[in-house]
Structure 1
Amino acid sequence: MTESPFADIRRLIATMPEADAEAAGAVAARDAELTKPAGALGRLEELVAWLAAWQGKAPPSLDRPLVCVFAASHGVTRRGVSAFPDAVNRQMLDNFAAGGAAINQICATYGLGFKVFDLALDVPTGDICEGPALDERGCVATMAFGMESIAAGTDCLGIGEMGIGNTTIAAAIYAALFGAEPAHWVGRGTGVDAAGYARKVAVVETALAHHAGHLSDPLEVLRRLGGREIAAMAGAILAARLQRVPVVIDGYVSTAAAAVLHALDPSALDHCLAGHVSAEGAHEEVLERLGLKPLLALGMRLGEGSGAALAIGLLKGALACHRDMATFAQAGVSGRSGA
């Protein structure tokens, strides 16, 4: 029998490394000597330990943080699920290249690397109401492409996306993985009106019915209901784990890629941080189901890695405090008394 193309992905998941407890312990030991009360920096202290545990070194580094945005188009958009036309996909890539998008400004402010990946933008995936978005080989090849996104090296990866119609795709993935009525997962996306929202719900309902009986495998959910950007982000998250690179996930659509990996192995996201909770759909509930506590809650729903980039900026601040604060001994400050 010919082996499924998905077999390679399952083998990689089985080889995922664990966190480095010794590195995290070294961060905690230094933290206890810094000129502040224990725990005074709250979650910032935990974040530095998390970075160290997944980079496998103390102190950790954020010398080459990178935000990757994966762009794709979707056949389902012909059903009127977005307030914007498909032409926006190419126009936004041009805007990224010209430095005119929000993500460009955030990355420049925090000194983050930024890459955009065009995933056959002019070739939409299949309409999920009529057939699978991708075949198995195409899905695995796209995941492999996403895995190559960090080939040049990085010490922290932020993942984001851009693709008209992809909030509908994400909602379909969540409905397949978690159950509940499709309307529970569908949001307003780019700002559709009531009629557009109803079309989105109907599309998800139709897609789930069409693919019924084939959605027990998370990788089948990905290829049948997903898109190239979601497959590529799943590949990037997995590659980062294998190379001990911490990951910051962006919003509603990016989290759909993480949800597929979590469904395959609940430990697959241990090296991931939720950059923010989006105002889109039921993102907060999704994060709770995945065991991810968002770092920011700003009411954002832009996508394009914006929330992930802001969160990496906060990580840089946390690391600077840990690395550059004086210890009690260095500053000549008295430590905690025995009282």
Structure 2
Amino acid sequence: MFNIPTVTNQFGHLIIDKINQKTKPLGALGQLEQCAIQLVTLFSQKVASEDAFKTFAPAINKPTLLVFAGDHGVAAQGVSIAPNDVTSQMVANFVSGGAAINVFCQQLGWQLEVIDCGILHPVTAPSVHNCRLGSITKPLNTDMAMNTAQVQQGFNNAKQLVQQLSHSGCNTIAFGEMGIGNTTSAAAIMAAMLNLPAQQCVGKGTGVSDDIVTRKITVVEQALVLHQLHLADPISLLAALGGFEIVHITGAMLAAAEQGMAVVVDGFICSAAAMAAININPAVKDYLIFAHCSNEQGHRLMLNALDVKPLLQLDLRLGEGTGAALSLPLLQAALGFYNQMASFADAGVKQVVS
């Protein structure tokens, strides 16, 4: 379903040489240098020759952040401090511009899109994309959260959204989520994919009590036992344990990679979607930039398992794509120094060797 081009390193030696010739000690810009290498590599995939590459100035174009919202039946199992109604209320808040993600996108230059993947109380607004797979998933510890046809439909929806953005000129995309109960779903996905005990994957989510954390662990353990025959295949796993928004994010990551876009991965829930996407097509991983390590207990374990290093460590646990949004200035700075910083030869500075 997703034909993702393998990222080639045809200009890697030129990229590294250009960075090393900048007026700085070797490696002095740390992770920004690795970020520049990844972005320039991605954006130069269609450059035809070395001569063309030498005049190529990569840029982030029309960065867009999509917030996917979905309701989870598992929320009724005592795993959250908030009822499902809050999902719809927060979607209305996104529409009116009052959420943290609205503020960050406006401050930093992201275009923000809101997608209803299946919330209990639909929000009627022209700005909300209707990609509903239902009104709420089934409780993952008592039933399949959804069926595989719904997973495939979510992938189709996501692919159409991403293709439209790509055709409009967007080459950098990020995803956020809203869904009461979705840290339980993400923890279950993590436990299943990494073969870890539930207690290592379940955290406090929005800030629940220790008693609720214990309940979440029990619910995840029940789900893993119930669905053990569905966990080997990533599509069946998403149907068993996922959420409507997690399915869309997984599909959107795969679709964005298919379009050659840089994909900025937010926190715990989006990283669970990234694991699923990598399981479906490993080629997607080269397109992923991990924005931050959240304060959710399992996220660091997840990032370590993926062997990735996030850009930020701010103890965030809000979701919505807030960590991904905050990473944009770093991505822009990485390309800024790559394109504009003088070389030793340009500046007449003796090259520093370290």
Q: Map of 1:176-187 to 2, 5 A cutoff?
A: 176-187=192-203
> Which among 29, 49, 53 is matched to residue 41 of structure 1?
29
CA–CA distance in structure 1, aligned partners of residues 209 and 331 of structure 2: 37
> Which among 227, 242, 249 is matched to residue 233 of structure 1?
249
CA–CA distance in structure 1, aligned partners of residues 74 and 111 of structure 2: 32
CA–CA distance in structure 2, aligned partners of residues 24 and 239 of structure 1: 25
Shift of 1:288: 1.0
Unaligned runs of 5+ in 2: 48-55, 121-134
**In structure 1, what is the equivalent of residue 150 of structure 2?**
138
AA of the residue aligned to 1:294: P
> Which among 294, 312, 315 is matched to residue 299 of structure 1?
315
CA–CA distance in structure 2, aligned partners of residues 26 and 320 of structure 1: 17
**In structure 1, what is the equivalent of residue 136 of structure 2?**
124
Q: Map of 1:165-204 to 2, 5 A cutoff?
A: 165-204=181-220
CA contact (8 A) 2:186 2:272 kept: yes
> Which among 231, 234, 239 is matched to residue 223 of structure 1?
239
Moved over 4 A (4+): none
- SS of alignment partner, residue 117 of structure 1: strand
| Percent pairwise identity | 38
CA–CA distance in structure 2, aligned partners of residues 321 and 331 of structure 1: 14
The farther-off stretch of 150-159 and 160-169 is 150-159
- SS of alignment partner, residue 300 of structure 1: coil
CA–CA distance in structure 1, aligned partners of residues 285 and 239 of structure 2: 20
Shift of 1:23: 4.0
CA contact (8 A) 2:24 2:352 kept: no
Shift of 1:303: 0.6
The farther-off stretch of 25-34 and 127-136 is 25-34
Shift of 1:244: 0.7
How many residues were matched structurally? 326
**In structure 1, what is the equivalent of residue 130 of structure 2?**
none
CA contact (8 A) 1:27 1:49 kept: yes
Shift of 1:269: 1.2
Shift of 1:169: 0.4
CA–CA distance in structure 2, aligned partners of residues 83 and 263 of structure 1: 32
Unaligned runs of 5+ in 1: 1-7
CA–CA distance in structure 1, aligned partners of residues 75 and 288 of structure 2: 30
**In structure 2, what is the equivalent of residue 92 of structure 1?**
90
AA of the residue aligned to 2:15: V
**In structure 2, what is the equivalent of residue 313 of structure 1?**
329
> Which among 191, 208, 212 is matched to residue 224 of structure 2?
208
Once the two structures are superposed, residues 64-118 of structure 1 have per-residue CA deviations (whole angstroms, 9 ceiling, x without a partner) of: 1111111100111111211111111111111111221111122122211111111
Shift of 1:50: 0.4
Shift of 1:270: 1.7
1:262 has 2:282 as partner: no
> Which among 43, 50, 69 is matched to residue 38 of structure 2?
50
CA–CA distance in structure 2, aligned partners of residues 294 and 35 of structure 1: 26
CA–CA distance in structure 2, aligned partners of residues 18 and 134 of structure 1: 31
AA of the residue aligned to 1:218: P
CA–CA distance in structure 2, aligned partners of residues 290 and 221 of structure 1: 18
CA–CA distance in structure 2, aligned partners of residues 205 and 182 of structure 1: 6
1:65 has 2:53 as partner: no
The farther-off stretch of 54-63 and 84-93 is 54-63
